[in-house]
Each structure stands twice: as structure tokens, then as C-alpha cells.
């Protein structure tokens, strides 16, 4: 099966997760292309699509949202999995758990979700460096349990990608 893994990234964390998903799917015997959403002109040639975006201000990046909307017709006709990369899954403490539980579906996904019907929307934690957050926003980040560091959980990424491979094999 020919699978597209498309991503929208700002600082590279989402790209690295997309590359890991692609490598896992390729390891399961699928032909895979991992590409930035801005480099994808068409999706008709792929049998399945996995797409993801970094989360900024609670939503997908504009390029990720535009990818979903532009290709919605074709995405609705093939198996589709979506992932988001943000800090909600890494939040800690009582406030952090509340924030993570109430993060909700990104608006960019919710707009087209009924039409494109993704099989799953998974949230992964990413990397947060001091340079990514303006100084004036840091107190709010700390208040909700945020912290700096690399919070990517590669076992979670691998398990999710293996689950996709299993579902595609079953079909």
C-alpha cells in the first residue's frame, strides 16, 4: 500500500514524529512518502494518508489546516489518520491535567471532521525550547503545568503507527 505521511511543522518536532511514523509504516512493508504539507500537490495517488500538525494557540498551523481543507474531497475517499503535536500531553500537575483534558479537537480538524472522517486523531507531546515561547507567555505556560524539554514519546509514536499498519493489513 502507498501511504502519504504529511506534516506541518514550525520548529521540527512534528517533522521528526512524521518521519518516525513513516519509518514504522515502511518497516511494516508499506511504500511511504513523508512530505511537508506545503510540498503535497495531490493525494489521489496514495491509498492512505496520515497527516499531522504542530499545535499553536490550540489549533493546527495554517498550512496544516489548508492541507485538510484543500484535499478534503480526496481525503474523504481513503483511510485517514490525523495527529497533533503540542504540549498538552506533557502538561503536569492538577492544572496541567485539566488543560490536557480540555484541549479538545483543533478547530482546523473539527471544521472538516464530519466530511473527511478521520479514523483517529492522536495527540503527541513535542519539544518545547525557551526560544519557542515569548517571555510574556511563560507564566501562563508554567501555570498550566508546562515546562521546557523534549517530551516526544517514541514508544507511543511507534505503537500508534503499528496500529495503523495493522488496520490497513486487516482491510
Number of domain units in the chain: 1
Residues in CB range of 50: below 8 A, 6 or more apart: 3, 4, 5, 6, 18, 21, 25, 80, 81, 82, 83, 161, 164
Q: pLDDT for 28-69, tens place per residue?
A: 999 999 999 999 999 999 999 999 999 988 899 999 999 999
C-alpha cell at 143: 501555570
The CATH number assigned to the domain holding 117 equals 3.40.50.360
Cβ-contact 55, 82 below 8 angstroms: no
Q: pLDDT for 116-134, tens place per residue?
A: 999 999 999 888 777 767 7
Instruction: Provide the residue range defining the domain that includes 163.
Output: 2-170
Amino acid at each position: 500500500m502507498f501511504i502519504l505521511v504529511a506534516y506541518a511543522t514550525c520548529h521540527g518536532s512534528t517533522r521528526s514524529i512524521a518521519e518516525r511514523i513513516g519509518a514504522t509504516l515502511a518497516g511494516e512493508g508499506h511504500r511511504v512518502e513523508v512530505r511537508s504539507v506545503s510540498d503535497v500537490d495531490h493525494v489521489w495517488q496514495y491509498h492512505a494518508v496520515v497527516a499531522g500538525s504542530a499545535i499553536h494557540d490550540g489549533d493546527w498551523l495554517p498550512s496544516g489546516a489548508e492541507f485538510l481543507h484543500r484535499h478534503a474531497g480526496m481525503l474523504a475517499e481513503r483511510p485517514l489518520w490525523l495527529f497533533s503535536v503540542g504540549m498538552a500531553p506533557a502538561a503536569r500537575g492538577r492544572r496541567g491535567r485539566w488543560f490536557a483534558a480540555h484541549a479538545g479537537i483543533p478547530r482546523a480538524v473539527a471544521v472538516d471532521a464530519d466530511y473527511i472522517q478521520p479514523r483517529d486523531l492522536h495527540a503527541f507531546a513535542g519539544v518545547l525550547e525557551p526560544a519557542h515561547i515569548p517571555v510574556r507567555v511563560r507564566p501562563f505556560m508554567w501555570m498550566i503545568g508546562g515546562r521546557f524539554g523534549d517530551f516526544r514519546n517514541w514508544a507511543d509514536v511507534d505503537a500508534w503507527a503499528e496500529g495503523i499498519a495493522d488496520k490497513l493489513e486487516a482491510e
